[in-house]
Structure formats: structure tokens, C-alpha cells
Amino acid sequence: MGEPLQRVFVPSVTEEEGGTLGLGCFSSEETAWQVLRAFLKKSEQMLLQACSVVVWDVDIVGEDAMTVLSSMECKDCPVCGRRTFWIDVDNFSALCHGTACSAWIEENTVDPEIIDCGWPTIRFLKQNKSIEEAVESLFKLGDRLKSAGEERMDQTSAEQMLEDDTD
């Protein structure tokens, strides 16, 4: 038979009412993350508050058996407005899992004093001095998109919006 399992990875989500849904128990961290990300893409269909990936060491008694790899909170996306913006509270990053949005915030890989944010749809990228400033930049972008109306924006208009925001 194979080598006995030493660790299992458990992704879960917490509903606004407080109930927790386990999404499975997996032998690899990669599979646990894939399952969680696939679930988060549908998160706007439920009232979710948080999610996590926890690793459990097998045959260990007590608190030492569990390690929280990641905890995320769900907020309304500053760009699309849907409740699909997942914020990693430990690593200062956020990503909207909403369909066709993908707004994001993360620490700059070169300078940890800089917080990057963006919206891939129009190649919007902005560097900020704080997380609050990054969130505000995305809210401003979302407000401008909403004020542009419901009609589909052409490439020229999207590029103009991007240029206006960098001024």
C-alpha cells in the first residue's frame, strides 16, 4: 500500500450566520487551494464572511495538530461592487473572484513600503503608500466605471479612463 498520510489540507468557508462549510480534506496543499479558489468564484451566490485553509498533522493530539495557512475575509469589491473581494488578513493581499473583475491589491515585490493595486480589464495599475490608499484608488475606479453607465466601453474610452486616472 503506500506511505501513510502525515498531513491533510482542509479548505473551509464561514457563512455570515456563523456556520462553517468544509470543502473537503486533501492530501496536497495545491488541491486544497484549487478547490477553495473554484468555490470562491461562486461566492457572490452565498452570504460568506471568511475562508481559510488549515493543515492538520495526523496522529497529533491538541492544538499543535492544526496550522492555519491562510485566513481571508470577504468584502464588497471596490470596483464591481459584488461581495467577491477576498482579503488575506495575514499577507496584505486581496483579489476579487467575481466574474470578469479580478481587481487586486498586494505588497510590491521589490519595495515592501509600496502597495500595488490593479484591475486587469483595462490594465489599470497603481502604486500606493498604504492599503487604505490602494482600496481608495480601486473605489475611485469603480465609481468612475459606474458613472460611465451600463453601456459597454470601447477600447479608446477605457484607455482614456486609464490615462485620466494616472494624472
Residue 71 sits in the same domain as residue 81: no
* pLDDT over 70, % of the chain: 86
pTM: 0.77
pLDDT band, residue 163 (cuts 50/70/90)? low
Model confidence pLDDT, tens digit, residues 73-112: 999 999 999 999 999 978 788 999 987 899 999 999 899 8
Q: Among 27, 46, 75, which residue terminates a domain?
A: 75
Rounded to whole angstroms, the Cα distance separating 87 from 96 reads 9
- Residues 6 or more apart from 70 whose CB is under 8 A from it? 52, 53, 88, 90, 91
Do 50 and 63 lie in a common domain?
A: yes
Based on the domain organization, do 126 and 159 belong to the same domain?
yes
Number of structural domains in the chain: 2
Query: What confidence score (pLDDT) does residue 162 get?
Result: 58
Same domain, 61 and 87: no
pLDDT tens track for 138-160? 999 998 888 876 555 555 666 66
**Domain of residue 41, residue span:** 1-75
Q: Indicate if the pLDDT at residue 28 is higher than 90.
A: yes
- C-alpha to C-alpha distance for 121 and 69, rounded to whole angstroms: 30
If asked whether residues 39 and 115 sit together in one domain, one would say no
Other beta carbons within 10 angstroms of residue 30's beta carbon come to 9
Res. 39 pLDDT band, cuts 50 70 90? very high
pLDDT of residue 121: 87
Which three three-digit cell numbers place residue 126? Answer: 497603481
Instruction: Return the closest-CA partner of residue 54 out of 74, 80, 36, 73.
Output: 36
- Note whether 102 and 167 are same-domain residues: yes
